[in-house]
Chains A and B, each alone.
Chain A
């Protein structure tokens, strides 16, 4: 089981490394979206500090949306997905591997970038720490839940827009607890409650979402 997971993750990471432009584009999208907000609402540090958690988290959701359509589309186009579906292991396990790989190339970079962008918004050190922590815990849930949408919209016309329509409402709890954790830190309450709820969502997203995703992939392959 673990060898299979390692094989899937290894393959997807290798593919991502040969196509770094995608990762870099999603990262710059994240940076640009976040940087647009001060231009839109004005540079008062107080206001920016209050907005920062929400802005960073919404931008993280959008940046994830950008990389999701390709999660299965490439494999679908070249026939690899059929081979994965015919592998003698549960497809859900393979999906889990792909979700982890997706997080490593699409979620983790956001976590790494977040402190730099947080400084733009004049966040204090403790809030920055919680922001990074909340993204670290929450982004795996984004990859997991997003995989369901990516599988459902596979090969469907207008897939990209439809994907956002399906997935973004499901992201709302992650957004609320993720941004809420930072908010709670800023306002002096502890972030523990938010972070543990976020952790529960992430566990659910990563370990339960692969099964409906696998079912949706089988439907898409019919």
Chain B
């Protein structure tokens, strides 16, 4: 047991994690390209045209994975932040800050594609649908996290403050989601729900899953790249970064 713990902490040090991440990144990129290509092929070429929504519905192959990922990444981010706060591990805090922009990107993509879909479906760019509204609030939470970390100069303090915010956010997300849903049913919002396509063909589901996997792999690859940059920036005065840069220079 102790052995394994030590082993894990070994990879928690930036010095050992940096080269490991470097070796993993190309694989995740390759997987992202593979899954993405497969998913989009199914989505755009093989999946049947929807009887009610025509070709326009195909945006869900990006919209739904983006929504999933935006929520999932917030959980992962809060998880890393919490670990970092509880055990005082530097790498966890860096992971959390590396994930935030990607999560915000997906939240934004989800809103954008939602609007693009809404125009032909409902004849309007924006409806105060419960899901879209929650997604918007999620984007606000991401932006708050990023802005808070950007405003604090000391990276350790930024990590800790961000972690507290992320944890508070995670507790609040279900409450917010529930309250928005409540508000929506009370005010008779949109009757068409974005993800509740009437009868999802198996082919569509596959396309969506593959696209989601592609987005997932992309997120891992980009987060690892970002965390490597953060490591270099924060540890630029340590010996290992110096020797690394000397080797390259």
Note whether A and B form a binding pair: yes
Let me know if A169 and B176 touch, CB within 8 A: yes
Let me know if A169 and B141 touch, CB within 8 A: yes
Interface SS majority for chain B: helix
Residue-wise, chain A 156-180 has the 8 Å CB interface mask toward B (1 for contact) of: 1111001001101110110011001
* Residues of the B chain whose Cβ atoms lie less than 8 Å from the Cβ of A152: 148, 161, 164-165
* Residue from B137, B144, B180, B182 having most chain A Cβ neighbours under 10 A: B144
Which residues of B120-169 are within 8 A (CB) of A? Answer: 137, 140-141, 143-144, 147-148, 151-152, 156-157, 160-161, 164-165, 167-169
Let me know if B148 and A215 touch, CB within 8 A: no
Let me know if A172 and B137 touch, CB within 8 A: yes
* Residues of the A chain whose Cβ atoms lie less than 8 Å from the Cβ of B183: 176, 180
Let me know if B179 and A176 touch, CB within 8 A: yes
| A176 in complex: contacting residue of B144, B152, B180, CB < 8 Å | B180
Number of A-B contacts (CB under 8 A): 74
Let me know if A158 and B186 touch, CB within 8 A: no
* Residues of the A chain whose Cβ atoms lie less than 8 Å from the Cβ of B157: 219-220, 222
Let me know if B179 and A215 touch, CB within 8 A: no
Interface SS majority for chain A: helix
Let me know if A165 and B140 touch, CB within 8 A: yes
Q: How many residues of A contact B (CB 8 A)?
A: 28
* Residues of the B chain whose Cβ atoms lie less than 8 Å from the Cβ of A168: 140
Let me know if B160 and A219 touch, CB within 8 A: yes
Which residues of A153-206 are within 8 A (CB) of B? Answer: 153, 156-159, 162, 165-166, 168-170, 172-173, 176-177, 180, 183-184, 197, 201
Let me know if B160 and A157 touch, CB within 8 A: no
* Residue from A173, A197, A201, A216 having most chain B Cβ neighbours under 10 A: A173
How far is it, in angstroms, between the C-alpha of A213 and the C-alpha of B148 when the chains are bound?
A: 15
Binding site for B on A (CB under 8 A): 148, 152-153, 156-159, 162, 165-166, 168-170, 172-173, 176-177, 180, 183-184, 197, 201, 212, 215-216, 219-220, 222
Binding site for A on B (CB under 8 A): 137, 140-141, 143-144, 147-148, 151-152, 156-157, 160-161, 164-165, 167-169, 172, 175-176, 178-180, 182-183, 186
- Which 8 pairs from chain A and chain B are nearest by CB? A173-B179, A169-B140, A219-B160, A166-B144, A176-B179, A176-B183, A156-B151, A165-B144
